[in-house]
Amino acid sequence: MTQGRGWWCCGGGSKGSSSNHDGNGDMQRTRVSMFKKNYDHLPKDTYFGLYKEATRGNPNYFLTYGNGKSAARVQEHLRPNGAHRWHNYMKTPNEIKLEEAAILHYTYTKFSDLTSRRDRCGCKPTKEDVKRCFILEFDRLAFIIASTATGEEMRNWFREHVVWNDKDTNLKLLRKGVLTRIYAPMAIIHGLRESGIFTTAVTSAKARAKVKSSNTDLQNKESIHPNITKSSDDHLQASPFDFSHLCDLPTKPFQPFV
């Protein structure tokens, strides 16, 4: 088994395009292009020398925690080892670092991700009480802000801690390799949305939610195989889905952001 250590998505504007931001804090994945590199992919002098500018007063190097995510090849006896690594019951994992691959993590891409924190639990908005509900320090701070601040104060906090709108700082960190631009996810999601696949998927999901089946076994199978449908003769059959047309999607140039 191999588990690769990749990049992690930097908070806010760096997980979204910092200068392509509407000011209200809503950064959908179709507008996400700037990411922060994992420290494993940076020279030590760069990482430590620019740490203060890269964290911008947040508790950790990345927006919510200090280390990055990892990916593993699916096989028997594999299980997660916490939120960042993998374990295999039968053998020791072979961990490798991949320069040519990136694992992207999206957090707090919308202002509503901040406001929704106050509905997560019944904790008091104090530094001690929030420890009962939130493990990550940034989530604790977000909950306190969302529970105590005014709407304008929340937006200012979101801009200061999540959104990257300082073009000079962005350009400096991009040149030093701390930040990087990756447009592929943006282009893919943009294409899926324009092709109508997203709309079809949402409509289909809502329709399925309204259908109540008395066959529990069939429901369990459909939850595992979402593309399995029932034919007129009550036999299960796979519904083919053709992705080849995505190759012919019209592509629009994405303007690089600084």
Q: What is the pLDDT of residue 248?
A: 43
pTM: 0.65
Contacts of 78 (CB under 8 A, 6+ apart): 1, 72, 86, 87, 88
Kindly list the distances between the CA atom of residue 217 and the CA atoms of 213, 214, 230, in Å, as whole numbers in the listed order. 10, 9, 13
Q: How many residues does the chain have?
A: 258
**Class of residue 108 by CB neighbours under 10 A (exposed 0-12, middle 13-18, buried 19+):** buried
* In contact, 100 and 52? CB cutoff 8 Å: no
* Tens of pLDDT, residues 86-102: 898 998 888 888 777 78
Q: How far apart are CA 51 and CA 61, in angstroms?
A: 7
Residue 13 CB coordination number (10 Å): 25
pLDDT of residue 217: 53
User: Mind listing the pLDDT tens digit of every residue in the chain (258 residues)?
Assistant: 334 444 444 433 333 333 334 444 445 666 778 899 988 889 999 999 999 999 988 888 988 887 778 888 888 999 988 877 889 899 888 888 877 778 888 888 888 888 887 777 888 999 999 998 888 889 899 999 999 999 999 999 998 888 888 999 999 999 999 999 988 888 888 888 888 887 888 788 888 877 755 455 555 555 555 554 444 444 434 344 444 444 444 444 444 443
Closest listed residue to residue 41, CA positions, set 73, 10, 72 = 10
The DSSP letter of residue 116 is G
The predicted pLDDT at position 216 comes to 52
What's the pLDDT score for residue 50?
A: 95
Helix %, strand %, coil % for the chain, to 5? 40, 10, 45
Q: What is the pLDDT of residue 4?
A: 41
Sketch the domain layout of the chain as residue ranges: 1-108+164-200, 110-161
